[in-house]
Amino acid sequence: MRRMTDSGAQKAQDDLMEDQEAVNLAADWADISQGLRKDLGHQLHSQWIKPIQVGGIDKSTGTLDLFLPTEFSANWVKDRFADRLSLAWKIARSEVRDVRIQVHPGRRQVADLRLHSDGRRPANDGADTSMMAIGADTLGDTGFTSSVGLDPSLTFAAFITGEANVLAFNAAQRMGATEKPQFSPLYLKAATGQGKTHLLHAIGHSFLQAHPRSRIFYCSAERFMVEFVQALKANQMLEFKARLRSFDLLLVDDIQFIIGKASAQEELLYTIDALLAEGKRLVFAADRAPQALDGVEPRLLSRLSMGLVADIQAADIELRKKILTSKLARFAPLEVPGDVLEFLARTITRNVRELVGGLNKLIAYAQLTGQEVSLQLAEEQLTDILSANRRRITIDEIQRTVCQFYRIDRSEMSSKRRARAVVRPRQVAMYLSKVLTPRSYPEIGRKFGGRDHSTVIHAVRLIEDLRQRDADMDGDVRSLLRQLES
């Protein structure tokens, strides 16, 4: 009897500890969520962060579970906020070593693919929204919606343009405007994280504003194939086709994932033909050009490339700086020193998504720990991102590029000649060696004919000053930077 009493008491004690743990987690999450609301703004926070439910901590691994109601929202939050959420929880609770973002077990459902005769999907609160119909049947009191299935933050106003993406941006604006575009389909080609998905969402928002009663179909190619197969198995192909062809704008992301699926390719081909014949608009996005899509039948390739193929190039350093500056507005009044922005723009070069993610992570860490944003903090907290992006540029490579640019012999980098036509290129090469390599002043001096470190310091300061006063010198340095970083 005593054992039973002790067992019951222990169970009650365990239950009490679990309840207290849940209360503590809830309190921590309230603080973290409030901080994210200030960083992200009310709209983004309400749509993506507020629905998060906190689960328990696996004591053995230090993993905290965070739950969202749908697969789409879980993936969206994981892609964009995983690092920030993980950092916030690590700071709040020392035992948390990682966060796991997933669909709540009680809400996980397979998307209901039954279709009404008019092409609408039955109501399903837990359905995956990565393939979303938007239009008259989802309108609110405002007459149109820009939030269902489309990220409200991905608009044309939020897209920063430069030489690398201006063609794609202008083409996307035409596709979403009131006037009928001169080309369709529009094919956006860009590497991961360069803005093609942003433009897809922006087109959707713009088109809904210009055509309030229109119907939009937005999905990934992978999701298109899943629903195609489901409809095929359920013997509902007629409904599936009717639904696809009832839309005014078709937006398909990651079209490269439709490779090798013959039946799905054929259906997409017929859908493109049907929509084009009715003057509808189509936009596709992929990480490669149509001609580079292996396993795609020639007829579909010809349809994908018959309109306009707009290439988004990797952002150059000037565009990366503009993007960082634009993102700082939402963190006001927090200040980020210019040398930190310059460092991030020059170092994180693989894609824009990593660049913005690095800035967000740095600012989140500074805000949550009360530290000031500095170059040292950036180097300490962004180690993984920086090491993945850092391309090893050597002093030999810099000297060779500078000599080619100024048309002087390579030996002049180490010579004792003092002619201006030789000295100035040599000083530029020293300056670039300090900016683009981790080498010290004495190490750089040794690579330039054994010169003293004070000579290198003088050259660096001189070129920095000339860049401020001399537009030609600044132009030369910018051109050399682009060559060396490309």
CATH assignment at residue 306 = 3.40.50.300
Residues 145 and 286 in one domain: yes
* Residue 268, token pair as written in the block: 């997409």
Residues 304 and 343 in one domain: no
Greater confidence (48 vs 5) lies with 48
Report pLDDT for 450.
Answer: 92
- 108-158 residue pLDDT tens: 433 333 333 333 333 333 333 344 555 444 333 323 333 346 788 889 999
Residues 308 and 338 in one domain: no
Greater confidence (121 vs 341) lies with 341
Establish whether 196 is an annotated binding residue: yes
- The vertex-164 CA angle with 163 and 170, nearest 5°, equals 75
251 has which bridge partners?
218, 283
Residues 76 and 202 in one domain: no
Residues 146 and 264 in one domain: yes
Of 324, 352, 319, 353, the C-alpha closest to 337 is: 324
Sheet order of strands, 132-134 included? 132-134, 216-220, 249-253, 281-286, 186-190, 308-312
Query: Roughly how many angstroms between the first and final C-alpha of the chain, as a whole number?
Result: 78
Cis omega (within 30 of 0) for bond into 298: no
Taking the C-alpha atoms of residue 11 and residue 201, their distance in angstroms, rounded to an integer, is 52
Residues 289 and 343 in one domain: no
* Residue 96, token pair as written in the block: 């948390």
- Which domain-ending residue is among 346, 365, 389? 389
Residues 56 and 205 in one domain: no
Residue 4 lies in a domain: no
Report pLDDT for 460.
Answer: 92
- Which domain-ending residue is among 66, 84, 103? 103
What integer is the mean pLDDT of 37-50? 75
Establish whether 347 is an annotated binding residue: no
When pLDDT is cut at 50, 70 and 90, the band that residue 478 belongs to is confident
Helix axes 71-92, 2-40, angle to 10 degrees: 100
Residues 383 and 330 in one domain: yes
Greater confidence (394 vs 188) lies with 188
pTM as predicted: 0.56
pLDDT at 310 over 60: yes
What integer is the mean pLDDT of 39-59? 81
Structural domain of residue 93, as residue ranges?
16-103
Residue 114 lies in a domain: no
DSSP 93: -
Residue 478: Cβ-neighbour burial (10 angstroms; 0-12, 13-18, 19+): middle
When pLDDT is cut at 50, 70 and 90, the band that residue 11 belongs to is low
What integer is the mean pLDDT of 410-425? 91
Residue 3 lies in a domain: no
Residue 118 lies in a domain: no
Taking the C-alpha atoms of residue 451 and residue 455, their distance in angstroms, rounded to an integer, is 7
Residue 232 lies in a domain: yes
Measured from the Cβ of residue 183, the count of other Cβ atoms closer than 10 Å reads 15
DSSP H helical ranges for 41-52: 42-44
